[in-house]
Amino acid sequence: MKKVIFTLFISLGLAGLSFAQTESEKEVAVEKIDGAVISVDKEVHDYGTITQGDNGECKFVVTNTGNEPLIISLCKGSCGCTVPACPKEPIAPGASAEITVKYNTNRVGPINKSVTITSNATNQPSKRIRISGNVTAKPEGGAPISTGGPTNN
């Protein structure tokens, strides 16, 4: 019986050693993604509360963390009030570029729009970024007019 238990422990120990990895083997085991890889500095730009007619422009920074050039083929807003401008030149590995999004702040109410970035990225060929916030109506009228009090003539 002792021989059986001893043999079982030895077998289990050898099986455990066969699954163990050295540090260098673990590094090799980490999956490396070949090609262009898109990374964005933020998923959502929150305007907060802004007034009707304010500047509705914001920027997103796109970085290529891959090993081949990132080519953005299309940037499309979810509606006509959201207009993106994307780089036309390829983004080299390790380099960054800006995507500018302009929202029409003449529309009063909540902002919840998106921009879809289509590219050759191996991790996310179709990447969605969003804008959010709220546009309040511009106050009516101009400067107050004094209507009271006597004048000294």
Where residue 82 sits, what CATH number does that domain have? 2.60.40.10
Query: Where is pLDDT greater, at 125 or 26?
Result: 125
Q: How many domains does the chain have?
A: 1
**What's residue 33's pLDDT?**
73
Does 126 fall in a domain?
A: yes
Residues spanned by the domain of 108: 38-133
Does 90 fall in a domain?
A: yes
**What's residue 122's pLDDT?**
97
Q: Model pTM?
A: 0.70
| Residue 103: partners with Cβ closer than 8 Å, 6 or more residues away | 47, 56, 57, 58, 81, 82, 83, 111, 113, 131
Tens of pLDDT along 37-91?
Answer: 999 999 999 999 999 999 999 999 999 999 999 999 999 999 999 999 999 999 9
Does 60 fall in a domain?
A: yes
